[in-house]
Every structure is written in C-alpha cells, then in structure tokens.
Structure 1
Amino acid sequence: MTDRFYSVIYTLSGFAIAPMLVLAQSPVILTGVVEDESGAAVAGAKIALVQQISSQTEETTSGETGSFRFEDLSPGNYLLKAEASGFDPYEEVLTIRSQETKPFTIKLKVGSVKAQVTVTLDDEDEVSTSESNTSSMRISNDLLGALPTDAEDVVPLLDRFIFPGARSAEGTAILVDGVEVAEMDMPSAAISRIRINRNPYSAAYQSPGTGRVEVSTKRGHRSHYEGSLAIYARNSLFDARNAFAKSTPDSDRRLVQAKFGGPLPGRRSSFNVAAERLMNNESAVVNALTLSGPFTMNVPTHERRYRTFTRVQWWPTELHTLYATYDFKDKSRENDKLGGFNLPEQGIRTSEFGHRATLRDTVLFSRNVRNELFFTFQKEEQRSGSPATAPAILVKEAFTGGPSQSFGREKKETFDLADTLTRARGRHSFVFGGRFR
C-alpha cells in the first residue's frame, strides 16, 4: 500500500515538473532596431550576438527599416555587437530571459573622423599651371592612340589645339617631363599623357603667355613587367585613282612600335624602353608642262625613321626621385620637295640625326617644399640637299627643272642646367631658381 502511494506521488510530481522544464528550455526570440542619434533607421548594419559561456556567435544584418531578428536563443548572458559605415562600433552586454523579450534598440553614434596623410613624391607632377587653368586640356595615351595622326607623328596635330595668338615666333613651347625642349621627337609609345596649356601665364618658364605642350613619359612598374608590340601597315592596293597621275601612285607604309618596362633588381628602381621603325615608300606625282610637252610621272620617295626612348628611374626614398632618360633619332627622306611642277631632278635628300640625355633629381623636403635639379645634353645634325652644280630653270605655272638650289647643314651641341626650389603656402606658390646653358 505504501509503495503504491509513493508511486502515485512520483507520477503526479513528474506531470507537474515536466511543463516547467519544457517552459524553461523553450527558445527565445530577440528582435530590435538599429538607429542613429536622431532616431533615423540605419540599414545594412552588421549585428553579432555572442553567447558568453559557449562563445557561440549568431550574425545578421539590419534591414531597410533598421530592424533585425535572432531566433532559437537560449536564456543567458550575451554580448551584442553592431557595426555600420560612418558610425562608432557598438557593444553591450544583455541578459535574455525565458520570458518574451521586448524589442531592443541599438543607438549608433556618428564616428569621429580620423585622417592619415602620407606625403609621397609623384615624379610626374611637374611644376605646371595647366591643372587649374580653364584653358587647358589633357590627352591620355588611349586618346592619343585613337587620334588620326600621320605615321604616329603627334606634333602637327597638337598645334591645332593651340590658339594662334598664343604661339611665339619660335613656335609652341614643348616640355618633356618638366624640361623645356626644342621639339618632341620620340616614339608615341613612350608618352603617358599630354597637357595642352593654351593660356599659360607663368613666370616659371622662358616665354610666359606662349602656348605650351607638357608631355609626361611612361615609367616602368616597380612590381611587374609589361610590354607590347604594334605593327601598322598601309598599301596603295585599295587606293583610289589620282586624277593627276596616269596610274595609281605606289604607297607602302610599315610602322613597327615596341615597348617594354618593369622593375630593376632591388625593387627601388624601374625602366621603360620604347622604340619604333618607320618604312614609308610613297610616290610623288609630277604633273608639269615642259618645253617638250606635258610631263606626268610617279617618282618614288622613300622615308626612313628610327626612334628610341629609354627611361630609368630610382627611388632612394619615398621623398626622393632620381631618373635619367635617353632618346635617339635617325630620319632620312629621298626625293624630298618633289611633286606638282617640280621635275624629278629637283629631288633632294634630307636627313636628321640626334641624341638627347636628361637627368632629373627631385627631393621633397616637406609637404610644402620641393627642389628639382635638371640637366640636359643634346647633340643634333641636320642635312638638306647638296651644293648645286648648275642653275635651276623656273617657268612659272609650268615647271621647275635643273638641280635644286636647296642646301644646308647644321650641327649643334647644347646643354641646359637648371635648379628650382618651390615653396607652397596656402593657395600660392613661390618658385626660386637659376638656369645656365
């Protein structure tokens, strides 16, 4: 009797305790909203809930209204974390009980602005007013390759962007990597970008107020090698007939361009080499009226052009840059000055040969003080025609015969040494320096 009584008591106790255990272990749902200090919802906030005993982590993201939801949570202590772009991180310890948890509000504070300024030296940032000049334009290498140039010769095309009133008697001023040169004679593959300054009034240059073309050459990468090869060809096979010639003038143009660059040993220096070769075999149409009657002939003209450009750059420190460039050119043309009324004996040979080496040292003493040292050496030789052995015969609007009277030879060697110190203060820059050549 006694055993049966206790058995009934235990059974009834089990039925009474079981609902309590089930209730104690039932999952809890935590909901809430993420807001800023003004009460506006913060969407896209990353929210994490960490169980302090087991370190189990649940993660979610706030919705468009800032709301979030965690399900199947066990009662206990948790660490609630929240992060959002532009706000300080949020952390708070909360206790989740077995009863239904009220919606929780996370208030995020606007993050404090922390700026880190790193001063480095950009060797392509020449002393130039074109960046802030409203009358300037910039041509990238991609745009340069798409321009309709003749055999990749960009100088005649660039002159069209200069106002006629901004040209001096010596022509447009040209600067290559900040160094003023007489002409830009280099492979187009070596050019990184071109700035055309059509209204430059700067005392830092030789001719203030003169239209200026500022060229920046490519430098090699410090982390990887890069190269390219391009071949351009043109033939008269598909040319239209020339109305002044008995047959289509022959034309065969081939242009080969190559470039290669990359890091040098040590990873603190790099190089870039560009070269091109042009073989242009065309014909000049002579259509004249001589003493023997009409004279029409296609006279072959041959043009050859070889150009190379090399740039080696070294960074002793992040604030110190040293680089050297060397470019070479060799150009010639046979039967130049022919066509129209000029008879074949008027043809002459022209040639141009030259070297140029440049050394540039740039040091950034502080964020506002920079010193630049330039040294350039150039050697050129130009020839045109040969001494005439007889007089020329000129009949206006009919023909020009006899040997050409055009003859000239020129050799020159020049050097240029310049040093400038630039001090920036607010919106103004003060430039001091000297030049010897």
Structure 2
Amino acid sequence: MPEYSVLSVPKAEAPATLDFAVESVGQPATPKLDRQTLTPFEAVVIEQQEEVQVVARRMPIRLIEPRDVAPGTAGDTAWGLDAIGALQSKFTGAGAVVAILDTGIKAGHPAFSGIEIVQEDFTGEGNGDWHGHGTHCAGTILGRDVDGTRIGVAPGVTKLLVGKVIGEKSADSTMLFDAIDWAVRAGADVISMSLGIDFPGYVSRRILIDKMPTEAAVSDALEAYRNNLRMLDAIMGMIHVGGNYGRDAVVVAAAGNESMRPRYKIAASIPGAALDVVAVAAMQPDPAGGYGVTSFSNSLPQLAAPGLEILSADAKTDKLIKMSGTSMACPHVAGVAALLWEALTKEGLEPTGANIKARLLATAKRDKIVAGTTGTDIGQGMVAAP
C-alpha cells in the first residue's frame, strides 16, 4: 500500500479552571506530522477528521541537478559575492541559524571549519554527502575562505542544520516534510532547499512498475502533486501565519532548471511554487556588462541570484569546484537572508521570516539587469546584501 504524510493539529486541552480553548489565549497547538501506510479510501476518510489538515501521498524528489555549461564564462572567483554586494556588506550573518535540506554535507571540508554542524539523516543511508551538491550549496551560504578565496555569503554563521533528504537510493516528499518540520523545531531562522518533486519520475513508476495506463498514471500523479503542494502550503502557513511552531523561518528554494530559453520556459517547481517560499532564478554575467537570466532558469521566481559557474566547496577534493544551476542561485539568497537576520536584529526589529522575506523583495536590484528581462524571468530582481 502507498505511504502518506498526514499533517494534523491536535486540539490543546484547556486547564481545568478554564472553559475555553487554549488557542483562544494565544497558545496555538503544535502541528503533528505522521507517516501512514493507507489505501486511497483510508486516506480520504482520514482527511475528513477534524484535526487533520492535509493528507499527501509520497512522491519522489530529486536534485535540481547542476547544469553543464561552456567553461570560462564567469572567471575564476566566486563572482556572485560581488554581484550581490556581499563583499561590501558590514554584516556576516552572526547569530543566525541556517538549515540546508539537500544531499548532506562533508562536514570535514575546510570551508566549514569552526561551524557547529547538526546533521539529521532522513534517507536511512547515513550522514555525509554522497553527491557533493549539498556541500557546494552550504559553502555558498556560509563557507569560510578556502586557500585565501572567499566563497560564503554569510561567513559569520556559526550553526548549520543539515537535513539529508536526498540519498543515493532514496528520496521522497515525506522525507522533505519531515525535514522541514525538524529544521523549524531545531531553531532554523533560514531554510534553503535546492530540490524539486519528481513529477515525471512518479508518472514513469506508475506506468512501468505499477502497470497503469498512461492517462491514469498522469491523472494519479496530478492528484498526488496537488496534495503535496497543499501539504507544503499548510506547513508554510503554520510556520509564517499561525505561529504553531513558535518561530518563523524564511524558506528559500531553487526555481528549477527545466527551461530551454528561448525555445520554452517552465514555471517554478515545487517546493519553490509553494506558499511563502522564495523561489530563486539563476543569473549570469552579460558580455556587454550587467547580468542576464540563464538559459535553463525556470520562470515565475520571486528573486534572482548568481547561478552560472559558481565557485564553492568540493566534497571530493577539499578544494573548490564550479557548478551551475538555480541550485547555486538559491544559497546566495539564503546567505543574504542570514545577513538580513543580523541586520534586522541590530536595527532593533524582530527578524521573523516574514520580515526577512519582505526586506529581501524590497531591496532587490534591477539597475544592472540586461534590457528585455521581465519579472516573469527574475521576480523582483537580483538579491542584494544589506
């Protein structure tokens, strides 16, 4: 039988001396996220229960894989740091807690020297980074200098939560939901995700393994995809609006690399398409000066950031390596979110996810964007460090 994620909010019991619910005096109940093996009929029945918010069938997730591009376009430095103003910022992200949900991390890489790294494996394959994707993304967010080269947007961050949700053999949406829940409860102020739900993979499995007709497989996948989006929307709503978790994290995700401009553009994928998630497009240096959107970057993001030939930590060599993709753009925005966490704190403002997101969008820049680039390509513009 298929596995489902079940999100519920149990009613809190009021003290015996009160005859009204605890929620009514500002104490929201804590969400509960369970995995259950159910028949489709049982899933429908369970979702009718008063405490249940969403029931979503498990779907595969996958890396937003780095793209192969012609070398030499962006030079031999971490050019993105200068492009977003991180090199000129007086902030370092000190005090912010960052979470990255990815392939794991090579904690012993020199880029993470002196950082408290808390790892949680949701794949059952153990900690560590089998791919190198998570290590590279983490390096862009907060990496220390490697052999004299700066790679991190927010090198003052001293605590990193690493949720391994993509293993070599296993990766699904239940792991992702569990990891988001874990990260918020563990105190994350910023959550970065360079991954997406694998809709084509789900369809293929239903056809090839479950022997479903193509039309039925696509319909089934659409229903599962819709419910997974509803699940993410509900979780994000509880983080940002309801206060159920007792804290408010800003969540950033890659928009996706499925486009092939100018032939066609694909819209931002889940989780980037979910409520209150900041979806990030990828930018590249333009030969005439300024910055343009990359050919592979998906449309309908909220922000854009450097994503071509990004220099960061290499899990295989302890040195540095270049990768390209919206996966590489996403951690630039997560790093700036950490800088803003520190900036808002020093301004005497509460650094909530909502406040950080609002500042991210309000301070994005368009002055160096090539002509003809629209909001459907880059959202509010290039992210800018405070």
Taking structure 1 as the reference length, what is the TM-score of the superposition? 0.20
Tell me which structure has the larger Cα radius of gyration: 1
Instruction: Point out the structure with the larger strand share.
Output: 1
Taking structure 2 as the reference length, what is the TM-score of the superposition? 0.21
